[in-house]
Amino acid sequence: MIKNSLAELAVSGSSYSVRVTPRARQNSIEQDAELIRVSVTAPASDGAANKAVRDMLAKALGVAKSRLVLVRGPKSRDKVFRLD
């Protein structure tokens, strides 16, 4: 469930601060000021949640998944993605 589209934020070179909630009841994405909150049903083990977050963020931004790079926080709830 995407409450609002993030397509207006899709600018090459931009960084996105993301707060992740793994093992949520449903997938959702919301924007709060400078922070994007993403809830995923995937567990945090073996990078499954990171992959799910990248996929959801790419869809919300309207870009290819391969253009999003995890810059910081692979094992943290707070992550930073960059759009290449």
- pLDDT on residue 3: 52
Residue 32: left if φ>0, alpha if ψ -120 to 50, beta else—which one? beta
Could you tell me the fold of the domain covering 16-79? Conserved Hypothetical Protein Mth637; Chain: A; (3.30.1200)
Which residues partner with 82 through β-bridges?
15, 69
- At residue 71, the pLDDT reads 97
Distance CA 39, CA 16 (A): 15
pLDDT tens digit at each of 84 positions of the chain: 445 578 899 999 999 999 999 999 999 999 988 899 999 999 999 999 999 999 999 999 999 999 999 999 999 999 999 999
